[in-house]
Amino acid sequence: MKRKDTAAAEHVLIVGGSSGMGLALAKRLLAAGSKVTIVGRSEHRLLAARQQLPQAERLRSIAADVTREDEVARLFRSVGPLDHIVTTAADITGVYVLLPEMDISIARNVVDSKVIGPLLLAKHGAPVLGAHGSITFTSGIAAYRPAAKGSVVAAINGALESLAYALAIELAPIRVNVVSPGWVDTPIWDAVAGAGKAAALNAMAKRLPVGRVGRPEDIAQAIQSVMHNDFISGTVVHVDGGQRLV
């Protein structure tokens, strides 16, 4: 595949593109003229996302569970050549508990969604990427600012970053990077904090040097920058409002 010279020519696959950071990235890329394929497990959520993304002629949605290798292989057989692969997907429901209360089956689900899924995306996606393509994972602040009840999330974010370092060497010249968000106001907080979401986010905003928590668009902008800078590989880009410093 020849290197693409314009955004209008590129094809980007976004796993987790039906909500939050992935949806914000899809909007941004479509507005720039890119072709975008969004992937998620829920047909209903993908349909809802399509209604928020008006450039239907350059948008495709595919339902797939990226923790299942057969579905990932099927995904890449159907999607065609790609320039970039991004995953923002995570299933962390029920994992924020103290260790004595930990349900190991739930912990395994989180590992599958944030480590095994990205590994499978790289395994089956790399062959359809051009030599100047990229793979971008999303980790998170928990790898650097772990807290009680967050042991599993801290571990998987650290593991994902180490995976990216290794893949950047193995898959070169394909670039592999990680964007590490801080606290971002996305729907995932409804599951994590429930009714306490607003209070938790407001308290963190007061602590951060930038004076606010993140927005999905902040992370989308960073991912797009990493995708298009062909001198960045094997790197973690922090988009956390200075949270590692406080």
Instruction: Return d(Cα 175, Cα 101) in angstroms, integer.
Output: 39
Q: At 211, give phi and psi (nearest 5°).
A: 80, 10
The catalytically annotated residue of 34, 139, 180, 233 is 139
Whether 162 is catalytic is: no
Determine contact, residues 57/36, Cβ cutoff 8 Å: no
Instruction: Return d(Cα 223, Cα 195) in angstroms, integer.
Output: 30
Q: At 13, give phi and psi (nearest 5°).
A: -100, 125
The H helix count followed by the E strand count for the chain is: 9, 7
Determine contact, residues 192/181, Cβ cutoff 8 Å: no
Positions marked catalytic: 139
